[in-house]
Structure 1
Amino acid sequence: MKLSSKVLLAMAISSITATAYAEPASQDFVPTTLAGTSAQSEAKGFIEDFSLGGTTRNWYSHESKYRGGTFSYEKHGETRTDRNRTNWVQGTILNASSGFTQGTVGVKTEVAVYNALVLDRSKRDIKGGSNRTLADSDGNAVDQWSKLGLANVQFRVSNTTLTAGRQNFSSGIVDTIGNRALPSSFEGVSFNSEEFSNLSFQGGIFDRVSPRTEQSLSKFRSEYGNGTQETDKVSTLGVNYQPLKSLKTSFFAANVKDFWNQYYFGATHELGDTSQLGLTTGFNYYKTVDEGKKEMGEIDNDTFSLSLGLTHQAHSLTFAYQQVNGNEYFDYLHETNGIYLANSLTSDFNGPNEKSFQVAYAINMAEYGVPGLKFNAYSARGWGIDGTHYTGNNGRAKFAYDGIQSQDGEKHQEYGVGASYALQSGPLKATTVRATYVEHRGSEFQADGSIKEFRLVTTIPFNIL
């Protein structure tokens, strides 16, 4: 089960959320022209634009399984179980970034040290850690650890930047995920080109991922496979295009060597005046087909979501429908947030042939004199999960999604509430506190089971230079 940052950071109610505006969203056409300015021409210099700062995040989670579910851990050579798991980690990022050198070709460097301090070190509490608390082979917490989270060199000409090394990257298929004490990052080469006013290009080739809760680099794996399949090459290329002031679109393709080829299309359209009534429509679509050695088995999967968000002043109400057409999970890369579907919540609602529907509500208390305070609540249901037609293939990947065959008419439901507050002024300005409570209940063979979770996350940004 992958925990989407959009919900577990507490405030997103779907992958597309209506945003309040003071005037009606314009439907005017946006012509494609060359960018009016060159970012490189405004470079201040390698030392002159140097910055040193970062964030520190206090990340707490308590989970309870029910309806017979348990967590397990080893003690004195015996496997013990209970219903609860607690993880509490302080994650700190110290980022040093130079400015771009002046001239036709600008050069800059970025280095970020990631540090984790474990605040709950009980072997019984962390239950082996998983991707929450780093643990050794005996299940004991690694009390404190550090690594290079980012380390790259960037070259810029005009408005086009090439980045080589360990870096962040964001697209509908390969996206840094930040829903733990520390985020993930990727090792490779990427580019971002913004030479046109409403049209940008983006791409990259990556061979390793730096996981959220590991010290070393890893090969890429899938989120829902059995964990034995790995690949060391992910290539992606895409475009972002805004044809109307009210319409934004993006298209990305990715080749995950010997896993799959995946294609993504996303669009967001805004209509109306949110001081009266605004409508935000979001559409996300993924096409996934097997590739090369078919390490994940035979895949032919079409998955989409459609969301409609109504906003009136401080209030937003969102309806989202999602459907998986395929005999396997809609899958994506582990340690990425490469799932922009509206119903990616505590559960991703991505079972074979699954359909799901979500209703979500959010309120921004700035309209009532408390800027920075927000609340949200949602309810989602999934049904029709059918993995009985999954066959894998006749080779070693036959059981890449082992156990899926038992899912015949499975269903599940999820409820969540959240609150967040961002400080508006003072020495701790932009500090955010987020609290969420989520309850998920699954039928007998639904993959995510039945679990309750409370999270409290405090993130404090800081600047040194």
Structure 2
Amino acid sequence: MRRTKSAVLALSLSSLSTLALAEPVSQAFVPVTVKSTQDQNEAKGFIEGQHLSGSTRNWYAHERATRAPLWKYYKRDGSRHDTHSRNNWVQGNILNYTSGFTEGTVGFSTEVAAYNAIALEQGRAAVAGPNNRTLTHSDGEVVGQWSKMGLANLKARVSNTTLTAGRQSIDTPVIAYIGNRALPSSFQGVSLHSAEFDNLSFDAGTFDRVSTRTEQGQSKFRSEYGDSNQYTDRVSMAGVNYQPLKSVNTSLYLSKVEDLWNQYYFGATHELGDSALLSLSTGLNYYKTRDEGKRKLGEIDNDTYSLSLGLTHQAHRLSVSYQQVNGNEYFDYLHDTNAIFLANSLLSDFNGPNEKSLQVAYTLNMAGYGIPGLKFNIYNARGWGIDGTHYTSSGYDVRGLEGENHYEYGIGSTYTVQSGSLKDATVRATYTAHRASKAQADGSLDELRVVTTIPFNIL
């Protein structure tokens, strides 16, 4: 590990003389200035600015346990049986209507999105439900087709500040929609986004329900790794995004998950050099999580961070990421969200109690070889030192974790159509292998996933 880090740093330092001949990313200070334009002044009207668009996604995944069976399925007689494999194949469809903003000092708009899912694989044993991939009844019978209102909100805008109320999509380090299934999640609540300055923006919000990826209704929020019977009535958050230099972006967020935890996040990225010759990107993510209120998940005292370094030369990118959990419980986040802005969150989150992990990844962008839109990636990540033996509360099942370890490697390819009637359509194929010691929670499995997403515009 030390040799790998040293090699990356030495290579980045030795390249500085070469970078001087290129056009590197500016390191200049960016003063905080009020925007010269206002989005609301450009409002076209409720009807005049409307859009009707959507997407259709074909989502397929085949999983195979390489050691003990990892899943169970129900037979029609009600008996439950182990299985070494799981197949999920779902067609997800989204139709989204967004009105324009009305003219005037305060503009109003609305957004409505209908979500529909069709189960292309409906075998009980194949799907091995219930799971978060294909909707099934409690007895494991697959729901062949279902629909729901994924988004439904009203917006009010003044200048460059927008207030949104209703079911909405939001993307922050402490609460974020997750879109890695046939349909994404969304949240019920009120949020505010203010971008009155060129390099400074603010977010705030409060939410009481999540519309999950694979369910028709809404439910209260719960944690991803803690006691699944413990729910929270409200999630509130606030944050700021600031660009002090042209090469630096920072974020500071905090959230209160009522009676579960308070969470604080800081993130920063920095770019140095010119990717046409050689550039170095650095990323830092840090979370501090502490128990809150009634402490339904018991005591939480967790500090988790990741640090990544990436070298880019034309079509090639090599990155190294180190991640560490300091705490006797999992680093946790909200279920059916993607609020884990950590470098080593992969098929596994590498977030066990006191876990350390290292990832090495390589990406090839074929645009540099005359095939724009085509990319390949490969990575290997290893986690070690998982230890929950010092945990003293009851919200997390970690006491059996002592010296556990695991590793994961994957290879993938993505192609994005560059022009024509299918412009921006993507095909993504990945193969991932995960191998774990006996008590590590993710288990040993292989997964093949193929996802095709086609966006469209009607109006």
TM range (shorter): over 0.9
Match of 1:214 in 2: 215
* Structure 2 runs not aligned, ≥5 long: 1-21
- The one of 407, 412, 417 equivalent to 2:406 is 412
Q: Which amino acid aligns with 1:23?
A: E
Residue 147 in 1 paired to residue 141 in 2? no
Match of 1:236 in 2: 237
Q: Aligned ranges for residues 364-403 of structure 1 at < 5 Å?
A: 364-392=365-393, 398=394, 400-402=395-397
Q: Aligned ranges for residues 118-129 of structure 1 at < 5 Å?
A: 118-129=119-130
Q: CA deviation at 1:226?
A: 2.6
Match of 1:30 in 2: 30
Q: CA deviation at 1:426?
A: 1.1
Between the two proteins, the alignment pairs up a number of residues equal to 437
Cα distance in 1 for partners of 2:74, 2:144 equals 18
Q: What is the TM-score when the length of structure 1 is the normalising length?
A: 0.93
Q: CA deviation at 1:288?
A: 0.1
Match of 1:70 in 2: 70
Q: Which amino acid aligns with 1:347?
A: S
Match of 1:455 in 2: 449
Partner-residue secondary structure (3-state), 2:243: strand
Partner-residue secondary structure (3-state), 1:405: coil
Partner-residue secondary structure (3-state), 2:399: helix
Q: CA deviation at 1:70?
A: 3.2
Deviation per residue, 1:135-193 (Å, 9 max, x gap)? 00110110000000000000000000000000001111100100000000000000000
Q: CA deviation at 1:69?
A: 2.8
Cα distance in 2 for partners of 1:69, 1:323 equals 29
Cα distance in 2 for partners of 1:198, 1:424 equals 30
Partner-residue secondary structure (3-state), 2:175: coil
- The one of 419, 424, 428 equivalent to 2:418 is 424
Partner-residue secondary structure (3-state), 2:44: coil
Q: Which amino acid aligns with 1:462?
A: F
Q: Which amino acid aligns with 2:429?
A: A
Cα distance in 2 for partners of 1:78, 1:209 equals 31
Q: CA deviation at 1:79?
A: 1.7
Cα distance in 2 for partners of 1:43, 1:334 equals 37
1:23–1:274 contact (8 Å) kept in structure 2: no
Residue 130 in 1 paired to residue 107 in 2? no
Cα distance in 2 for partners of 1:261, 1:351 equals 19
Deviation per residue, 1:223-251 (Å, 9 max, x gap)? 00131000120000000000000000000
Cα distance in 2 for partners of 1:92, 1:452 equals 27
Cα distance in 1 for partners of 2:158, 2:103 equals 10
1:322–1:357 contact (8 Å) kept in structure 2: yes
Match of 1:9 in 2: none
Q: Aligned ranges for residues 61-140 of structure 1 at < 5 Å?
A: 61-75=61-75, 76-140=77-141
RMSD: 0.8
1:238–1:252 contact (8 Å) kept in structure 2: yes
Q: Which runs of 4+ in 1 moved over 6 A?
A: none
Q: Aligned ranges for residues 43-442 of structure 1 at < 5 Å?
A: 43-75=43-75, 76-392=77-393, 398=394, 400-402=395-397, 404-442=398-436
Match of 1:395 in 2: none
Q: Which amino acid aligns with 2:356?
A: K
Cα distance in 2 for partners of 1:23, 1:211 equals 45
1:87–1:129 contact (8 Å) kept in structure 2: no
Q: What is the TM-score when the length of structure 2 is the normalising length?
A: 0.94
Cα distance in 2 for partners of 1:80, 1:164 equals 44
1:173–1:339 contact (8 Å) kept in structure 2: yes
Deviation per residue, 1:186-224 (Å, 9 max, x gap)? 000000000011000001000000000000000001000
Cα distance in 1 for partners of 2:173, 2:83 equals 37
Partner-residue secondary structure (3-state), 1:385: strand
More relative contact order in 1 or in 2 (CA 8 Å, sep 6+)?
1
Cα distance in 1 for partners of 2:346, 2:69 equals 20
Cα distance in 2 for partners of 1:209, 1:32 equals 35
